Amino acid sequence: MDTNFVVGACLLLPVLGAFLVLILGSRPNVREAATLLTGGLTFWHVWGLLHHVREGARPRLELLEIVPGVQLAFEVEPLGLLFALVASFLWIVTTLYAIGYMRGHHEENQTRFFFFFAIAIAGALGVAFSANLFTLFAFYEVLTLCTFPLVTHHQTDEARKAGRVYLGILLTTSVAFQLLAIIWTWQLADTVDFTDGGILTGTASNGVLSAILVLFVFGVGKAAVMPFHRWLPAAMVAPTPVSALLHAVAVVKAGVFTVLKVAVYVFGIDLLGTLAATTWLAWVAAATIILGSLVAFQKDNLKARLAYSTISQLSYIVLGALLANEWGVIGGGMHIAMHAFGKITLFFAAGAVLVAAHEKDISRMHGLGRTMPITFGAFFVGSLSIIGLPPAGGSWSKWFLGMGTLEAGQVGLLAVLMLSSLLGLYYLLEVPVKAFFFRPPDGTDHDKGIKEAPLPSLIAIGITALATVGFFFWPDLWYELMTMVISGVAQ
């Protein structure tokens, strides 16, 4: 099959799926079948691209010239493919999960929910495959806007306020900083195409390029580098499947993906290493890692804790990019995949507890592990991956990130990674440990009716938990893709 066509199909299928959902809105079973079907087809097409990329090809699709010199164009390179694989696969799993969750939790407006969900995936794939900064920015904003109805799904006052924070921070940073950085880049380099080795080398002084880097790192609000992280906990008012897919995978990963992509293909890691701003931005990321963990520590609401943990983990990837060496990039890229699978498991589990036991707070989950062993077992596995312990995939990405810090000669940053893992050990494992080994406190009456979550949700949890373990033994795919990113740069 023509690769152009496949790239187009990857982007178009979710949109088609979205409209199928609209048409079939009145018949929930057919509607969900349509979502699963388009999800499956989308993933199949993305998977089909892997073969070409392995052979060194970069399938390209040029749609049209938006303004002279700037195209709406897509190019599949290894890093983008990695993100696309993760997002499109987890879309299927999340849909499965959402079927159980949305019905079990009696959510309203499910058609609208599945519609915008599909559009958001199209946005994420657009970000993944974009061939230049302009296209990336366009889909980045599409993703921001089409997730707004998902975040504010309940249409309550609380949702409205959270929606304001969400949209306010994401649009403000992207318009005020990121867009400025993009136009600045365009003026300096006369191109905004992602190119191996970067496009900015030698175009301006160290100071100017540093300023652009700062604008990029803070302008990508979705990467949630402090102090622009507030939107992420705010977005937790959304139904859990949204938090799971969008705020553990599609949206946040679109952010860190953008940072990595800019680091590798706009600056190039060689140039990045020479910039004055790189080191102190790395320390900003390090501070976010530690502060995020410390805040997570104090949250009793499980989703809030996971949100701060996400903020912390995202900065691992930002840090990986800013280490400006091969190990950092490999570790950062792999962490996109590893953290996605780990964190989505945790969110799934949190949602399952909410549906089955109607509990949001960790202190009220004591003893629940006995009635919901699969859920909390999966939570345990996911936690291991986030902390970076074997046998879970997260240990690989943390390992490479650690190597990156040493290569960069930043022992202090290595210490930060270690400390954060220790914190994670406590604030994540506290949940399953208390659920399995603690007695329910007096007064919380977990009546006998509590069972495991609905079956579709349980299957979804099982898939992601198994994958998390599987990636410890077979991390090859992600590693291979990331080495291709690096070797492309080295050429």
Binding interface with another protein (CB under 8 A): 64-68, 72, 134, 137-138, 141-142, 145, 152, 155, 157, 159-160, 163-164, 167-168, 171-172, 175-176, 179-180, 183-184, 186-187
CA nearest to 210, candidates 282, 260, 288? 282
Closest distance of CB 31 from another protein, Å: 19
The residue among 212 and 281 lying less far from another protein, judged by its C-beta, is 212
Residue 258 or 288 with smaller CB distance to another protein: 258
CB of 179 to another protein, least distance (A): 7
Q: How far is the CB of 350 from another protein (least distance, A)?
A: 26
The smaller minimum CB distance to another protein, of residues 136 and 378, is found at: 136
Taking the least distance from each CB to another protein, the nearer of 1 and 67 is 67
- Closest by CA to 428, choosing from 334, 350, 320, 338, is 350
Residue number with CB closer to another protein (172 or 371): 172
Q: How far is the CB of 59 from another protein (least distance, A)?
A: 22
Tell me the closest approach of the beta carbon of residue 437 to another protein, in angstroms: 43
Question: Residue 450: phi, psi to the nearest 5?
Answer: -70, 125
Compare residues 180 and 477 and give the one whose CB is closer to another protein.
180
Q: Are 380 and 432 a contacting pair, CB within 8 Å?
A: yes
Look up residue 462 and give its two tokens.
């099982």
**Residue position matching structure tokens 């993760």:** 86
Q: Which is nearer to another protein, 60 or 164 (CB)?
A: 164
| 18-21 contact pairs (CB < 8 A, 24+) | 18/114, 18/115, 18/116, 18/117, 18/118, 18/119, 18/122, 19/115, 21/111, 21/114, 21/115, 21/118
The CA-atom distances, in angstroms, between 199 and each of 69, 210, 271, 289, 355 are 15, 14, 10, 30, 49
Within 8 A by CB and 6+ apart from 108, the residues are none
The answer to whether 410 and 282 are in contact (CB under 8 A) is yes
Of the pair 12, 179, the CB lying nearest another protein is at 179
Tell me the CA distances in angstroms from 424 to 236, 290, 421, one per residue in order.
Answer: 20, 10, 5
Number of C-alpha atoms within 13 angstroms, CB side, residue 65? 4
Q: Which long-range contacts (CB under 8 A, 24 or more apart) does 227-233 make?
A: 228/169, 228/173, 229/288, 229/292, 229/311, 230/165, 230/169, 231/165, 231/166, 231/168, 231/169, 231/170, 232/307, 232/310, 232/311, 233/304, 233/307, 233/308, 233/311
Q: What span, in angstroms and rounded, lies between the C-alpha atoms of 419 and 236?
A: 26
Cα 107 from Cα 354, distance rounded (Å): 13
Distance of closest approach, residue 222 Cβ to another protein, in angstroms: 15
Q: From the CB of 73, what's the least distance to another protein, in Å?
A: 13
> SS3 letters for 87-122?
HHHHHHHHHHHHHHHHHHCCCCCHHHHHHHHHHHHH
The nearest distance, CB 142 to another protein, in angstroms, is 7
**Shortest spacing between CB 151 and another protein, in angstroms:** 12
| 145 or 418: CB nearest another protein | 145
Cα–Cα distance, 244 to 416 (Å, whole number): 26
Closest CB to another protein among residues 72, 119: 72
Min dist. Cβ of residue 365 to another protein (A): 32
Q: With beta carbons less than 8 A apart as the criterion, state whether 214 and 281 touch.
A: yes
Query: Closer CB to another protein, residue 55 or residue 157?
Result: 157
Q: Is 407 exposed, middle or buried (0-12, 13-18, 19+ CB in 10 A)?
A: middle
| Residue with smaller CB distance to another protein, 65 or 361 | 65
Shortest CB 67 distance to another protein, Å: 5
CB 19 to another protein: min, Å: 14
